[in-house]
Structure 1
Amino acid sequence: MNNLIKICGLSSPETLAAALDAGADMVGFVRYPKSPRHVTLDLGHRLSLQAKGRAKRVVLLVDPGDEEIAQAVEAINPDLIQLHGHESPERVAEIRSMVNRPVMKAVGIAEKSDLEAVAPYAKGSEHILLDAKPPKADALPGGNGVSFDWKLLDGLDPALPIMLSGGLNPDNVAEAIRLTRPKAVDVSSGVESGPGLKDPARIKAFIQAARTAFAAQH
């Protein structure tokens, strides 16, 4: 499998175009009203059409109910569903069966013991997105711009479909890839000039840095 680069939290045609033009493999649209990156179903629909055929489209949901999932799938028609809440492995499998398309699951990491939660998701998840645990209880489940200690991943089964996230930016992504050798990387706040405000120059720099780092591993 080729190494993948995902730009998440895109919420305008202009910044989506920047990600697509820079060569993003995956683009993410957030459906979570508390997030500054939240998109309406109508905007998500239009952004999805813009990205169709150029990158895999991902819709991010947090502990969604069946109706919320159905609405997002109908409007945005994503290639993958990203689950960023407390969904159990059983719920992930249920959602995957319900929507009949791949699912990716985010797992929050702060200490070594958190990695025990990863393997149970491997069977039902196209990617397991390792993100830093939110810094405080009322923080967003993702997109907080904090990273975890990448050395915690030493010894993790290299066969697991890991997508590294959490605090990545154009300046540290190459080092993160060198240390952890993930299958894919994901960024949101690390390519922003402010909460929810994607910066086209930072998107391009991130993708270039990640692509170079991945190439150096082969």
Structure 2
Amino acid sequence: MAQVKICGLTRSEHVAAAVGAGASFIGFVFFTKSPRYVTPEKAAELAREVPPGIARVGLFVDPDDAPLEQVLAEVPLDILQLHGRESADRVAEIRQRFGLPVMKAVGVAGPDDLEALWDYGLVADLLLVDAKAPKDAILPGGNGLAFDWRLLVGRKWLTPWMLAGGLSADNVAEAIRLTGARIVDVSSGVESAPGEKDPEMIRRFVSAAS
């Protein structure tokens, strides 16, 4: 049984579907190149529809302080997700400056990528273990790619972590069984088209994960 984060929500009915299905985390994307991008104004509207007890997560890619300040002035976020190439020092700086828990995404393609999880685990509150994006990819995540979950078998980190990358209702139970993940993150795996969430796919995913 795992908690679920549904990322990249852009419409009220999809927030309602995620909440109704039992998601524990709701994610809003503030990366303008993403098909899941939402403006701070829209995200503020959606965030107000998330009941207490469900974490509202804002996804940023290599942000300066200014966009973080702009979003936080309007959107009541509970967690900042950093999904770019932010250094460990930058993660710590953002965490201290903005006073919110920080989740750091780390792309994994092979064993050599796992060391970064230790480094970021010293400064982040949560780790997101995701599939490493291809070198020519526009998006750092949400590409529907998986990595070899066997790389995580038997591994422990001091920091809580969640699993992402190519998950769907068809494979999430197996991913949880192999890795021991207690939280899973999905975006493209519950979409009928890029950026278009499907309420029934959301319900199936949460059911399969729990």
Q: Same fold (TM over 0.5)?
A: yes
Q: Deviations along 1:40-62, whole A, 9 cap, x unmatched?
A: 11101101111141511000000
State the aligned residue count. Answer: 210
Q: 1:54 to 1:200 in 2, by over 3 A?
A: farther
Residue 163 (structure 2) aligns with: 164
CA apart distance, 1:17: 0.5
Task: Return the alpha-carbon distance in structure 2 between the equivalents of residues 155 and 41 of structure 1.
Answer: 40
Q: Deviations along 1:130-163, whole A, 9 cap, x unmatched?
A: 1111134233100000000001112422544120
CA contact (8 A) 2:176 2:182 kept: no
4+ long deviations beyond 3 Å: none
CA contact (8 A) 1:20 1:54 kept: no
Q: Is there any run of 5+ residues in structure 2 with no aligned partner, and where?
A: none
1:34 paired with 2:33, answer yes
CA contact (8 A) 1:143 1:188 kept: yes
SS in 2 for 1:129: strand
Residue 115 (structure 1) aligns with: 114
Residue 124 (structure 1) aligns with: 123
- Of residues 31-40 and 48-57 in structure 1, the stretch that sits farther from structure 2 once superposed is 48-57
CA contact (8 A) 2:21 2:203 kept: yes
Residue type matched to 1:97 in 2? Q
Task: Return the alpha-carbon distance in structure 1 between the equivalents of residues 123 and 209 of structure 2.
Answer: 27
Task: Return the alpha-carbon distance in structure 1 between the equivalents of residues 89 and 3 of structure 2.
Answer: 26
SS in 2 for 1:81: strand
Residue type matched to 1:5 in 2? V
TM-score in terms of structure 1 length:
0.93
SS in 2 for 1:51: coil
Residue type matched to 1:180 in 2? T
RCO comparison, higher one (Cα < 8 Å, 6+): 2
Residue 49 (structure 2) aligns with: 50
Task: Return the alpha-carbon distance in structure 2 between the equivalents of residues 107 and 169 of structure 1.
Answer: 20
